[in-house]
């Protein structure tokens, strides 16, 4: 990204706050085993410590199995954010690659990719993923990454294809061809840097889309399986106690909302910063 | 003088399909080594398409192009790449022909990198020498295109073309978008470079007045064909074709 | 002495200082006048401030630019005039034609309607009469088959035809002064010659004053009796065009004259 966009972002209050939230979540997720006060799967006293409301010893309370909720949220962050990040990277990379291929090679390849996008985009992603997961039964988080990520490449592909096609018409690409640049060189040195800002926005939006997707899957029991905690299944564990043990609902929901909201704010601020850069150029 | 470029009955279709309307409809011309052939015509006459076809930048429907004896249209792979070193181009729009995200030094160095003409260190030195040669400063290599004026950007584009040490340069309306003073400076630069490096120019323009200073011969194009070709003085003194006459009549008659 | 049609006195235009940076001067005290029916060229290289001059006269400067000084048109002070007053003058007494016709025209509106809109904005209530006047004007500016082309959209016309549409809009209400800012730079050279000839003819026919802004003395010398040379935000010469051609004084003026001198060809 050009220096100007970076400066613009750095000075942007909204971007700084959003980045801060996401960074905190990432750090919490990475260092969960060291930060978490308790073992998230340990059930020390299923009778005595059951459903304790938030206190000094258990800041987020305990769940129906006497497990410390804070520790579960932290470890859940590892899983939820890990799956989300993985799925996001997969969908953005896959989308960019297919969009680039369609734009640069053109012809029947473009026809196939565009056709696929046009057909698949009409299908609601959540239902597709649920159907796929249900077919395969319970899956490891890696498979979740693959399925969620593999279903999300459509918008990115469209964006990258459109941007590439636009830039391919421009005179500086013609100049590169006149210099003898190979197609690969043009893609790598000219087109990708041109589309990188939009990819950053797409990545932020993708993240905002997959975090709730994984949480929803886990909530209905199709995603991450216990005892591995995820924000979705923490919420699942608490469904029978929604009215009595509010901490079982509030904290997972807050975790999801804060991260998704921050990702969306990031996407928006990126877009504004990019628009400012375009003006300068 | 030997002939460097030979074009015979070249046909270029709009959007590349046969049987469509033709941008270039059977054009033929020769360019001698060391000369400046101006190719003039109104917009729509096909002159830009002809220039690009010669450089293999647009598909050719039929015809022949010979560069230093080699058949250009049949080149592929390494041979095509070698041709691209020998025949370069400077485009019209200084705003569009440079990648806005690349530093000027990288823009100029791209050709050197593509053809592996020098090591990293040597390449950067070459870039700095080129910048100075076109009238800019060595440390301009660190800046971005939008920090320069239109005339300066054209100088950068010229430096980029020269980086691969071509023999032949297509100047596609290279000064048309510049204001008169800058235009004069860039034309002077082009003349100096031609003398210093022994370059051959195909100078595409729509304005005969621009051409008068630097062209040895003028080819007039209309509706995809070359309708007249004559030494500059002769064309200005006695234009034979209606197209040439119209272009000459269009030059503002200043009451000196 | 007859009062000048347009009198510009010590016009200064600055690019506003953003975030505490010092404001950049674009025009540093420009003074000149245009008499009724006179043809005046403003000659300047890019960066001389000539486009800002044209915009300032019509109150069309972008918000980042501020103007000071006096601009008197037919006795009205333009710089301090209210927006309503300026809008009433624009198009009716004082018109402008720009360089790039495509951006000056509404891409979604047929060109005839855009010309008619000019009349209606200034009080013509009868839509049909406005349209007829528009088609008539398009014919007079030399748009071929005006009654057919009036129904086309801007992108369906060539550059020269679009420029004629702009001229029709500018001249419809018979202004006393037409400001043309690089009206032919974006055009093919043969079309450029036609448009300049048209400007000249219309100017003579209506006794309209013309202020022609350009970097090309060739464009100015064929249409303007007097030339004001602008350099670095100031007027450096203000002389009859003939005099400029034979004896330019300021080095910048000299350079601009040399730039259009025909080449001396060796036999």
Q: What is the mean pLDDT of residues B40-58?
A: 92
Interface mutation vs chain C, best among B245, B252, B255, B256, most C CBs within 10 Å: B252
Tell me if B189 is assigned to some domain. Answer: yes
Task: Tell me phi and psi for residue B33, to 5 degrees.
Answer: -60, 130
Q: What does the block give as tokens for A121? A: 């985009």
CA atoms within 13 A on the CB side of C85: 10
Query: Which domain covers residue B243, as residue numbers?
Result: 3-96+171-249
Pairwise CB contact (< 8 Å): B181 & C45: yes
Task: Tell me phi and psi for residue A106, to 5 degrees.
Answer: 65, -155
Nearest CA in chain A to B148: A281
CB B94 within 8 A of CB B175: no
CB B7 within 8 A of CB B65: yes
Q: Which domains does chain C have, with CATH numbers?
A: 1-93+176-261 (3.40.50.300), 101-174 (no CATH)
C and A touch per CB criterion (3+ pairs under 8 A): no
For residues B51 and A228, the model is more confident at B51
H/E stretch holding A15 reads helix A13-35
Pairwise CB contact (< 8 Å): B179 & C263: no
pLDDT in tens, C194-226: 888 888 888 888 899 999 999 999 899 988 999
CA atoms within 13 A on the CB side of B198: 6
Can you give the CATH number for the domain in which B197 is found?
3.40.50.300
DSSP B145: G
Question: Is a pLDDT exceeding 70 seen at residue C20?
Answer: no
Question: Is a pLDDT exceeding 70 seen at residue C244?
Answer: yes
Question: What distance in Å separates the CA atoms of residue C18 and residue A280, rounded to the nearest whole number?
Answer: 14
Helices marked H in B44-115 = 47-54, 77-86, 104-114
The B-side interface with C (CB below 8 A) comprises 42-43, 149-150, 179-184, 206-209, 212-213, 232-233, 236, 246-247, 249-256
Q: Does B84 touch chain A (CB under 8 A)?
A: yes
- pLDDT classification of A89: cutoffs 50, 70, 90: very high
Question: What distance in Å separates the CA atoms of residue B247 and residue C91, rounded to the nearest whole number?
Answer: 34
Q: What is the mean pLDDT of residues A99-127?
A: 91
Question: What distance in Å separates the CA atoms of residue A177 and residue A59, rounded to the nearest whole number?
Answer: 62
Q: What percent of chain A has pLDDT over 70?
A: 97
Question: What distance in Å separates the CA atoms of residue C111 and residue C151, rounded to the nearest whole number?
Answer: 6
pLDDT in tens, A174-203: 999 999 999 999 999 999 999 999 999 999
Question: What distance in Å separates the CA atoms of residue B256 and residue C221, rounded to the nearest whole number?
Answer: 9
Cβ count near A192 (within 10 Å): 16
User: How far is A180 from chain B, CA to nearest CA, in Å?
Assistant: 5
User: How far is B200 from chain C, CA to nearest CA, in Å?
Assistant: 20
Strand duo B225-231 + B87-90: pairing: unpaired
Question: Is a pLDDT exceeding 90 seen at residue C102?
Answer: no
Residues of A whose CB is below 8 A from B93: 171
Interface mutation vs chain B, best among C190, C198, C252, most B CBs within 10 Å: C190
A and B touch per CB criterion (3+ pairs under 8 A): yes
- pLDDT classification of C263: cutoffs 50, 70, 90: low
Q: What is the mean pLDDT of residues A15-27?
A: 92
Pick the CATH number of A12-280 from 2.60.120.380, 2.40.128.720, 1.10.10.10, 1.10.3720.10: 1.10.3720.10
Q: What is the pLDDT of residue A280?
A: 63
Q: What is the pLDDT of residue C28?
A: 93
Question: Is a pLDDT exceeding 80 seen at residue C125?
Answer: yes
Q: What is the CA radius of gyration of chain C?
A: 19
Choose among B180, B212, B246: nearest Cβ to C190: B246
Q: Where are the domains of chain A?
A: 12-280
Buried b / exposed e over A138-172, threshold 16 CB at 10 Å, is ebebeebbbbbbebbbbbbbbbbbebbbebbebbb
Pairwise CB contact (< 8 Å): A281 & B57: no
Q: What does the block give as tokens for B105? A: 């030094």
pLDDT in tens, C53-74: 988 888 888 888 888 999 999 8
Pairwise CB contact (< 8 Å): B57 & A178: yes
Across A242-281, the runs of DSSP E, i.e. the strands, are none
Q: Among C16, C7, C59, which Cα is nearest to C35's? A: C7
Q: Among A86, A83, A55, A85, which Cα is nearest to A68's? A: A55
Cβ count near A128 (within 10 Å): 13
Tell me if B104 is assigned to some domain. Answer: no
Q: What is the pLDDT of residue B1?
A: 63
Number of domains within chain B: 1
Tell me if B14 is assigned to some domain. Answer: yes
H/E stretch holding B225 reads strand B225-231
Tell me if B151 is assigned to some domain. Answer: no
Question: What distance in Å separates the CA atoms of residue C135 and residue C151, rounded to the nearest whole number?
Answer: 9
- Chains touching A (3+ CB pairs < 8 Å): B
Pairwise CB contact (< 8 Å): B160 & A179: yes
ipTM of model? 0.91
Pairwise CB contact (< 8 Å): B179 & C219: no
pLDDT in tens, B117-142: 999 999 999 999 999 999 999 999 99
Interface mutation vs chain B, best among A3, A172, A192, A274, most B CBs within 10 Å: A172
Measured between alpha carbons, how far is residue B8 from residues B24, B26, B30, B31, B67 in Å?
11, 7, 9, 12, 12
């Amino acid at each position: 990204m050009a220096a100007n966009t970076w400066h613009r972002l750095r000075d942007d209050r909204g971007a700084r706050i959003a980045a801060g939230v996401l960074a905190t979540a990432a750090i919490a997720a990475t260092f969960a085993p060291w930060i978490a006060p308790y073992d998230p799967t340990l059930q020390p006293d299923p009778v005595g410590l059951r459903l304790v409301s938030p206190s000094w010893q258990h800041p987020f309370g305990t769940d129906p199995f006497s497990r410390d909720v804070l520790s579960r949220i932290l470890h859940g962050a590892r899983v939820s954010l890990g799956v989300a990040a993985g799925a996001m990277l997969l969908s953005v990379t896959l989308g960019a690659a297919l969009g680039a291929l369609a734009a640069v090679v053109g012809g029947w390849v473009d026809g196939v990719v565009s056709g696929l996008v046009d057909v698949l985009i009409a299908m609601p992603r959540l239902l597709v993923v649920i159907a796929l997961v249900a077919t395969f039964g319970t899956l490891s988080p890696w498979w979740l990454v693959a399925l969620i990520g593999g279903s999300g490449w459509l918008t990115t592909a469209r964006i990258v294809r459109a941007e590439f096609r636009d830039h391919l018409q421009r005179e500086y690409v013609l100049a590169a061809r006149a210099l003898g640049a190979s197609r690969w060189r043009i893609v790598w040195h000219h087109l990708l840097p041109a589309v990188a800002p939009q990819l950053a926005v797409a990545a932020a939006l993708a993240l905002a889309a997959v975090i709730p997707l994984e949480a929803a899957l886990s909530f209905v029991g199709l995603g991450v399986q216990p005892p591995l905690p995820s924000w979705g299944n923490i919420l699942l564990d608490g469904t029978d106690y929604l009215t009595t043990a509010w901490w079982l609902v509030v904290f997972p929901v807050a975790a999801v909302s804060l991260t998704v909201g921050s990702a969306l704010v990031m996407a928006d601020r990126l877009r504004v910063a990019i628009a400012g850069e375009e003006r300068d150029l | 003088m030997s002939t460097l470029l030979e074009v015979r009955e070249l046909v270029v279709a709009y959007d590349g399909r046969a049987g469509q309307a033709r941008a270039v409809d059977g054009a033929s011309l020769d360019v001698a080594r060391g000369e400046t052939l101006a190719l003039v015509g109104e917009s729509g006459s096909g002159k830009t398409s002809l220039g690009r076809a010669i450089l293999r930048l647009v598909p050719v429907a039929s015809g022949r192009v010979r560069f230093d004896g080699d058949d250009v249209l049949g080149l592929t792979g390494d041979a095509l790449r070698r041709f691209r070193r020998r025949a370069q181009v400077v485009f019209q729009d200084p705003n569009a022909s440079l990648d806005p995200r690349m530093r000027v030094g990288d823009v100029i160095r791209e050709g050197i990198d593509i053809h592996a003409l020098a090591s990293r260190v040597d390449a950067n030195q070459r870039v700095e020498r080129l910048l100075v040669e076109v009238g800019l400063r060595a440390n301009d290599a660190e800046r971005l295109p939008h920090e320069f004026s239109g005339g300066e950007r054209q100088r950068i584009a010229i430096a980029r073309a020269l980086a691969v040490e071509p023999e032949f340069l297509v100047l596609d309306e290279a000064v048309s978008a510049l204001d008169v003073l800058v235009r004069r400076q860039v034309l002077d630069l082009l003349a100096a470079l031609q003398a210093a490096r022994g370059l051959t120019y195909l100078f595409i323009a729509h304005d005969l007045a621009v051409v008068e200073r630097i062209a040895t011969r003028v080819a007039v194009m209309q509706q995809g064909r070359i309708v007249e070709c004559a030494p500059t003085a002769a064309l200005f003194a006695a234009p034979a074709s209606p197209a040439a006459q119209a272009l000459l009549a269009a030059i503002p008659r200043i009451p000196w | 002495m007859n009062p000048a049609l347009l009198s510009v006195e010590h016009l200064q235009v600055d690019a506003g200082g953003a975030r505490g940076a010092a404001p950049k001067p674009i025009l540093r005290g420009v003074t000149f006048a245009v008499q009724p029916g006179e043809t005046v060229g403003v000659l300047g290289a890019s960066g001389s401030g000539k486009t800002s001059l044209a915009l300032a006269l019509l109150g069309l400067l972008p918000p980042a630019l501020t103007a000071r000084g006096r601009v008197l048109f037919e006795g009205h002070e333009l710089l301090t005039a209210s927006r309503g007053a300026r809008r009433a003058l624009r198009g009716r007494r004082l018109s402008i034609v720009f360089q790039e016709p495509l951006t000056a025209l509404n891409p979604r509106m047929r060109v005839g309607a855009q010309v008619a809109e000019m009349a209606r904005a200034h009080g013509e209530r009868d839509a049909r009469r406005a349209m007829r006047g528009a088609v008539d004007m398009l014919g007079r500016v030399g748009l071929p088959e005006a009654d057919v082309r009036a129904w086309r959209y801007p992108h369906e016309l060539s550059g020269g035809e679009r420029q004629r549409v702009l001229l029709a809009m500018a001249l419809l209400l018979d202004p006393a002064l037409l400001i043309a800012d690089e009206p032919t730079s974006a055009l093919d050279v043969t079309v450029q010659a036609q448009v300049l000839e048209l400007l000249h003819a219309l100017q003579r026919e209506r006794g309209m004053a013309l202020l022609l802004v350009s970097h090309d003395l060739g464009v100015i010398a064929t249409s303007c009796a007097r030339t004001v040379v602008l350099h670095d935000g100031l007027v450096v010469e203000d002389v009859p065009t003939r005099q400029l051609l034979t004896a330019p004084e300021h080095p910048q003026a000299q350079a601009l004259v040399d730039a259009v001198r025909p080449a001396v060809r060796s036999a």
